[in-house]
């Protein structure tokens, strides 16, 4: 029995017809050639899967949020996915439940390993701040007795202190104030009111030692009300506009929000379409292309 197996008959209609006619000239085909052409079953499943992914492409884009999302959205979205998988692992049939449980294991490990980074970035989102971390802390208890919100706040305060100490403007202002103080120090001559002045000086020192220190950028930021939730909110644009109000904290927010959470875009996790090479990479020259490929290969192994 003669036959021809093709991946997609619609593409090769003319070729199939010519081949079938040529074969019939030499040998009569069974059932007048109706069985001559065989469509690839694997190709049919491939096309069916692509059709299904086209229907859910909008959903995939909403998971991704963008090609290069800022770090502040990861914790919120991962927690939402975690809740959904928990529900599926309980109420679904046995097959779906087992799949959901395996997915939960990976997400649980990722959240445990990356929680502090994701939490600090979430606090830098003025729509969340510490309120979202406090909400998560109320949902789960740690075995060591410390709440998640306490651990996150301590970490943020420690990091902010490092940024303050390493701020060049602060060091410049401290050196200026020290030089000014040294110039103003003059020897005092005792007089009748020396007892009274000493008494007042001691009183001033007492009041200053018991007064509250001035509020920092971090204090002002956390005390301000959270912003209403807006899906189109651009956190980097907000921090750029608010940087005069939070000069040091804005630098810390910029560093954390720009942390690359993936070696590739989230869209690359779905291999449903052929991915074209970026034109900028093609025009960059062989040396730079090889460097980029080696860098990405090493990053993927870590």
The residue from 52, 68, 90 where one domain ends is: 52
Counting residues of the chain whose pLDDT is more than 70, the rounded percentage is: 61
Domain count of the fold of the chain = 2
18 belongs to a structural domain = yes
**Residue 188 above 90 pLDDT?**
no
**Residue 14 above 80 pLDDT?**
no
Q: In the chain, which residue ranges form alpha helices assigned H by DSSP?
A: 13-26, 41-55, 57-64, 74-91, 94-123, 129-139, 148-165, 168-184, 194-210, 217-223, 235-242, 249-257, 279-282, 286-301
pLDDT of residue 221: 94
Of 96 and 140, which is predicted with more confidence? 96
Mean pLDDT of 55-62: 69
Of 94 and 181, which is predicted with more confidence? 94
12 and 92 in a single domain? The answer is no
* CA distance readout (Å), 15 to 19, 31, 228: 6, 20, 62
Quote the pTM value: 0.61
- Split at pLDDT 50, 70, 90, the class of 182 is very low
105 and 228 in a single domain? The answer is yes
- The pLDDT tens digits for 226-254 are 999 888 899 999 999 999 999 999 999 99
25 and 67 in a single domain? The answer is no
44 and 145 in a single domain? The answer is no
**Contact of 218 with 159, CB cutoff 8 Å:** no
pLDDT of residue 184: 46
The residue from 21, 37, 52 where one domain ends is: 52
48 and 65 in a single domain? The answer is no
pLDDT of residue 42: 73
**Residue 57 above 60 pLDDT?**
yes
- The pLDDT tens digits for 46-55 are 777 788 777 7
140 and 160 in a single domain? The answer is yes
* CA distance readout (Å), 301 to 45, 117, 262, 294: 32, 21, 13, 11
43 and 8 in a single domain? The answer is yes
231 belongs to a structural domain = yes
Of 181 and 137, which is predicted with more confidence? 137
Three-state SS letters, 167-181: CHHHHHHHHHHHHHH
34 and 159 in a single domain? The answer is no
- Range of 23's domain? 4-52
CA distance 50 to 43: 11
pLDDT of residue 167: 82
pLDDT of residue 244: 93
pLDDT of residue 55: 76
Picking from 44, 17, 13, the residue whose alpha carbon sits closest to that of residue 33 is: 17
20 and 131 in a single domain? The answer is no
Of 31 and 200, which is predicted with more confidence? 200
205 belongs to a structural domain = no
Of 273 and 199, which is predicted with more confidence? 199
33 and 154 in a single domain? The answer is no
Average pLDDT over the chain reads 75
**Contact of 149 with 130, CB cutoff 8 Å:** yes
pLDDT of residue 152: 92
121 and 162 in a single domain? The answer is yes
């Amino acid at each position: 029995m003669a036959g021809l197996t093709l991946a997609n008959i619609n593409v090769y209609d003319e070729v199939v017809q010519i081949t079938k006619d040529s074969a019939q000239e030499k040998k009569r085909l069974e059932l007048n050639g109706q069985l001559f052409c065989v469509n690839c079953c694997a190709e049919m499943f491939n096309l069916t899967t692509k059709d299904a992914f086209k229907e859910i492409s909008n959903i995939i884009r909403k998971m991704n949020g963008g090609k290069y999302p800022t770090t502040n959205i990861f914790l919120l979205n991962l927690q939402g996915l975690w809740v959904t998988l928990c529900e599926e692992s309980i109420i679904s049939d046995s097959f779906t439940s087992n799949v959901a449980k395996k997915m939960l294991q990976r997400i649980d490990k990722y959240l445990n390993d990356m929680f502090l980074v994701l939490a600090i970035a979430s606090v830098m989102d003025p729509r969340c701040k510490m309120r979202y971390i406090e909400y998560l802390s109320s949902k789960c208890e740690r075995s060591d007795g410390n709440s998640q919100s306490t651990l996150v706040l301590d970490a943020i305060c420690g990091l902010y202190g490092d940024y303050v100490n390493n701020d060049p403007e602060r060091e410049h202002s401290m050196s200026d104030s020290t030089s000014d103080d040294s110039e103003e120090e003059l020897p005092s001559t005792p007089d009748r009111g020396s007892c009274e002045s000493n008494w007042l000086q001691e009183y001033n020192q007492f009041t200053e030692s018991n007064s509250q220190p001035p509020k920092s950028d971090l204090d002002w930021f956390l005390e301000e009300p959270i912003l209403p939730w807006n899906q189109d909110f651009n956190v980097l644009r907000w921090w750029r506009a608010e940087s005069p109000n939070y000069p040091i904290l804005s630098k810390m927010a910029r560093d954390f929000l720009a942390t690359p959470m993936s070696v590739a875009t989230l869209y690359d996790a779905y291999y449903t379409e052929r991915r074209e090479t970026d034109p900028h990479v093609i025009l960059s020259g062989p040396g730079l292309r090889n460097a980029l490929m080696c860098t990405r290969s090493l990053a993927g192994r870590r």
